[in-house]
Structure 1
């Protein structure tokens, strides 16, 4: 690990052993290009048939009962529980988990062939849909639940989410809305080296607002028509800089794994978790609005559970793990999620495509990205992000080999029009 970048108040903010642990975690993600894979996560909003009211975890015919029945079709060794509460299932490349408001997330990966997305998702729906029907539930792929208000949704019985609920209930304007009512689509891909990872992150952050606009899918907010083109962005960025939005320092010339690690470690944890840290001074899970990793974890190398927890307390548009995760999008129905996934794979794992967008965005700054976001939010279809019309960006970002057009208006999930 090089040391030519100054640690921020190293004696108080970050622990060098922790920094090294994260750097090694990132480095372990480097893969040969012929071993690249893709991950896709689609979150679903469960609503009651006939009313579209949100369905919560513990209510009669609620999400708990759905999971308990679904568990019979999944691998018992991959069940996730918090105490007695069943909160997650797994089988092969399919993982089913719950977001704080009871949103049902289907994680699919690592995908080696594009058709795997369709096949695996079809299996997930074939398993869960009959169970949902018996309980009078359907799954909605919107960015925000259509009818129910955030204050009327009870979070699931997960210790981490109780602590997160306390934190986000006091920070920003939309913490509870994001936790309880929102749903997203996320796409992940691999990198071959540190330089490759940073270049892909920069380009993903640069084009992210454009793709976020083209694949927006939130017609409702708190039971009313949603007026913001990028509502998801607006809600997340309301929880505070450094934890969400554009990655701090990403476009600086010296940015690399070490700087990414410092940023993750220096930020207050929001939620501390030492359930896998037997030598920690304090045990358990608690709200941590001021404590960062150096305050919570011992002076030693971090284990993988600790590393993944620390990273999970950041919600930047593009998140660095031992792969790269793009987080810009509202929940999408499968056909649109497939278009998006094919496009992301083309842009960020094809060397020629990555070189093309890198050449165009040479010299871009975080300020430019934030200006593009604000332009799209304020002006919608009349916006000129980075000085170009949206028609220009549709053509620029369209990869012909995907065989599909980027939708130009997604105010309703069934509307694909330019």
Structure 2
């Protein structure tokens, strides 16, 4: 979940909303890679989630990172809730999931180095306090009532609202983790092409990265329970967005969508004001019940844009949001997949051609098949393992065309980060499949074994 945004001053014209998005356009030379990943913290002694306070806790984790590694703290209501350093942020998800929002970087080699450094720093603080962290799409054992709530006003507002819309909203907030990548666009047309490819092929990413086959201590019938959750909560702000594929789609159409998504809050003077279910259109006209007579700022617009959760979304960049978290190899493989597809025009055009003619029903059917069956999923004659194989070939070609080699004599290019996904396709097995096999085999049904197996 996002921290408060800094978008700008008063909104005086509706056109400013689209102009805000357009201000994210960058020339190709300025395109960067921003990788985010969340992870579950737990107490090794009890194998329970870390509370916010205490000697083995989230707060102790943040304080240790701050004091030992030069992070600058972010507080809300006097409570330490985040850190920043050199363009990167560490923040908290509702149930204490620790998130790194990486700095905008030029190459996947830099992305990988950033992730390795972050996990090493986390381990150095976590080890002495008896904590561990693991990357999976959903908490495999912990019940909903075991999850702590982090001291952020945004979450206190969202939790009761999520209990009223859809069926699995609070599970999403408290018991899931993702890895995603944020990529730039050069123009409105470039944004449209990338967003259409992102939405169409998001089921492929979901299938390749599936890692959440357990919930409440047993198999849940899905390869990605996290992806299943997103199909069963607030329909007003989630989904595959068929309007994106209509003629004439662009910045204004995205504004039309976001402006009609019911609000969560307005952030003022360090606190979150309840605006649940209220209308940003009313806010634009000075008729927001939460703040009568007040008009929004671009910072309010930027905040509101963070409360829409489709499979891919637009801010001043595009977020690819469809993947479960996983081991270190996955944390660079996911951005490698999308950078390969989107940052080389030949690969992007080929990906557009691969998905040309798909209907909303096709995309939605693949989305549901990916959550349920992973790489074994299929819909309407399309097999996800075949699509994954083709998609990886395009991504590899795109990364090879970028020609970014790691530092050092004879070092390889960025295609190396796709190796784990290529291996999964060749074996036809996701991480979820591997974990289910261990559960039914060497673990003998004991999910307590998953902590050591999946810890960083």
CA deviation after TM superposition for structure 1 residue 115, in Å: 1.1
For residue 172 of structure 2, the aligned residue among 178, 187, 203 is 178
Aligned partner of 2:275 among 266, 288, 291: 288
Q: 1:231 aligns with which of 225, 246, 253?
A: 225
Report the secondary structure of 2:198's partner residue: helix
Give the RMSD, CA atoms, in angstroms: 2.4
Aligned pair partner of 1:43 in 18, 35, 38 = 38
Which stretches in structure 2 are left out of the alignment for 5+ residues? Answer: 1-10, 287-293, 401-414, 438-456
Q: Please give the alpha-carbon distance, in whole angstroms, between the structure 1 residues aligned to 2:266 and 2:13.
A: 15
What is the aligned partner in structure 2 of residue 194 from structure 1? 188
Unaligned ranges ≥5, structure 1: 1-15, 277-282
User: Which of residues 189, 208, 213 in structure 1 aligns to 2:202?
Assistant: 208
TM-score by length of 1: 0.87
| 1:60 to partner: Cα distance | 4.3
Choose from 352, 359, 364 the match for 1:358. Answer: 352
Q: Distance in 2 between matches of 1:243 and 1:18?
A: 24
In 2, Cα distance between equivalents of 1:61 and 1:381: 38
Distance of aligned partners of 1:219 and 1:205 in 2 relative to their CA distance in 1, 3 Å threshold = same
Please state whether the residue corresponding to 2:84 is helix, strand or coil. strand
Aligned length: 394
Match of 1:266 in 2: 260
After superposition, the C-alpha distances for 1:104-156 in whole angstroms (9 at most, x for unaligned) are: 00111201121112221222223221211122110010111232111221211
Give the direction of change, closer, same or farther, for the CA distance of 1:386–1:28 in structure 2 (3 Å limit).
Answer: farther
- Superposed, 1:7-406 pairs within 5 Å as 19-75=14-70, 78-269=72-263, 271-275=264-268, 285-296=272-283, 299=286, 302-385=296-379, 387-398=381-392, 399-400=395-396, 401=400, 402-403=415-416, 404=419, 405-406=421-422
Task: Quote the offset at 1:332 in angstroms.
Answer: 1.9
Structure 2: distance between partners of 1:213 and 1:231: 11
Q: Distance in 1 between matches of 2:194 and 2:70?
A: 35
Q: Report the alpha carbon displacement of residue 395 of structure 1 after superposing the two structures with TM.
A: 2.2
**Secondary structure of 1:31's aligned partner:** coil
TM superposition shift of 1:360: 2.3
Q: CA deviation at 1:250?
A: 0.9
Conserved 8 A contact 1:38-1:189: yes
Taking structure 2 as the reference length, what is the TM-score of the superposition? 0.80
Is contact 2:265–2:274 with CA below 8 Å preserved after alignment? yes
Residues 1:390 and 1:284: Cα distance change in structure 2 (over 3 Å): closer
